[in-house]
Structure 1
């Protein structure tokens, strides 16, 4: 008798302008494995080379969003390789021209919380628990601290990463780490409506808006003014030519 095929650890779908990642290891708390990192990174690289979607949605099967990542490295070489893989995926999520939405229906811990934060929109169910628990094992969450200060003020953020205490979605919202807190039974509807609004925007304009917004956070105001002059000139001409 043929055995049922093993389920895919991450389901990847492209439909109607939306690239979707569904974490599909609920029995393991949707921990991200090496194979999941590779599959999602490959899909994002393909989008960078030849865009076919406009929105990236990240969600998860089961009751938990993501409780972290698998750690299999046993020496300096293998650990460095693991870290390089996860940081590369974070770069791809942050830098994609797709407008990204994290749909956090349950607990998000460590890498899972960090991944959700990286998305342009982070929608979280009010019943979820959020935390950076790495320091409880003596491991500073450096890959998260590398960018978390972009979202939260230091005085709010440092106790979260130092002590690893669970925080509520409302606390995360006040700190600037999430976009919206929803009741779990409305989370899908809220994410669908947000997707619809993004897809209704001018496609080129939306990509340029995201790219400029991110670049502006890392540049001086004077550099941003110079870049704004270029962008407004180019985009204004494009829009006039399209009329």
Structure 2
């Protein structure tokens, strides 16, 4: 990717093999508008085939991750009338968000969510499709939809995948709000920091570990993990064995083996470009 796409709701910055995506609507606690959904989708589409980008860090500006859907967009959809043969505007708005978080979920990149302040509704869903989620001390997580008379339509399946049906039921049906420590216990986030400095140190350690892992092997591993539970085990293991054979014969497998024998870091661990 020669240049980053222009975005109005996101701040984009590439540092070495990492793309930092900052949700930038602090006046509304980074509530997710249709424009933001479209811009996030565009960013993830454009980086998918960019082998130089290995990780994406998603965070929010102004002390909040994302407070959920934008009420203005909801009001706008309410005022729209569906033309004959067109989908309901509420359906279009909701489904566009679901397509975006599915895209983030299935991205070949390692997606890291840095959660602070409000992590609600759609923001909660976005955190649940990250590969690594880190929480700051101010984080508050929740699925408040039922308390607003609506349903967590697009995020609920991803929450169930993240923490299991039992805990998802409790959070969704009671509209609970929980802190970072409980989110960590439930498996929504992997680590909870006690300070902003500790949060940044955690992120640095995660990015360092990503640098030590081969990019193609990492992408193939993520794809394999997503297939578990959706395919018959025997066929899945047959396919995985084929992928293993390709990997060990490929350039990364050769370099990784040689680096191990020569007791040196592999080439991808030394790359800062």
- Counterpart in the other structure of 2:21: 21
Query: Which has the larger displacement, 101-110 or 74-83?
Result: 74-83
TM-aligned CA deviation for residue 207 of structure 1: 1.2
- 2:92 counterpart (64, 81, 89): 81
- Counterpart in the other structure of 2:271: none
Q: Report if aligned partners of 2:95, 2:154 keep a CA contact under 8 Å in 1.
A: no
- Counterpart in the other structure of 1:137: 148
Q: CA RMSD in A?
A: 1.8
- 1:147 counterpart (158, 168, 175): 158
TM-aligned CA deviation for residue 145 of structure 1: 1.1
TM-aligned CA deviation for residue 189 of structure 1: 2.0
- Counterpart in the other structure of 1:218: 230
- Report 1:161-176 matches (<5 A): 161-176=172-187
SS of structure 1 residue aligned to 2:64: coil
The answer to whether residue 217 in structure 2 is matched with residue 205 in structure 1 is: yes
SS of structure 2 residue aligned to 1:151: helix
TM-aligned CA deviation for residue 50 of structure 1: 4.0
- Counterpart in the other structure of 2:46: 46
CA distance in 2, matches of 1:162, 1:226: 40
Which runs of 5 or more structure 2 residues have no equivalent in the other structure? Answer: 1-6, 83-87, 259-273
SS of structure 2 residue aligned to 1:57: strand
The answer to whether residue 123 in structure 2 is matched with residue 119 in structure 1 is: no
> CA 1:26 to 1:240, structure 2 compared with 1: closer, same or farther past 3 Å?
closer
TM-aligned CA deviation for residue 170 of structure 1: 2.0
SS of structure 1 residue aligned to 2:209: helix
- Counterpart in the other structure of 2:263: none
TM-aligned CA deviation for residue 45 of structure 1: 0.8
- Counterpart in the other structure of 1:65: 65
> CA 1:229 to 1:112, structure 2 compared with 1: closer, same or farther past 3 Å?
same
CA distance in 2, matches of 1:217, 1:124: 28
CA distance in 2, matches of 1:52, 1:172: 32
CA distance in 1, matches of 2:109, 2:165: 28
TM-aligned CA deviation for residue 9 of structure 1: 2.3
Q: TM-score, normalised by structure 2?
A: 0.81
CA distance in 1, matches of 2:242, 2:94: 37
- Counterpart in the other structure of 1:93: 104
Q: Deviations over 1:118-166 (max 9, x none)?
A: 1001111133111100000121212111221112122221010011111
Runs of 4+ in 1 over 4 A off after TM superposition: 239-243
- Counterpart in the other structure of 2:11: 11
- Give 1 or 2 for the bigger CA radius of gyration: 2
- Counterpart in the other structure of 2:85: none
TM-aligned CA deviation for residue 227 of structure 1: 1.7
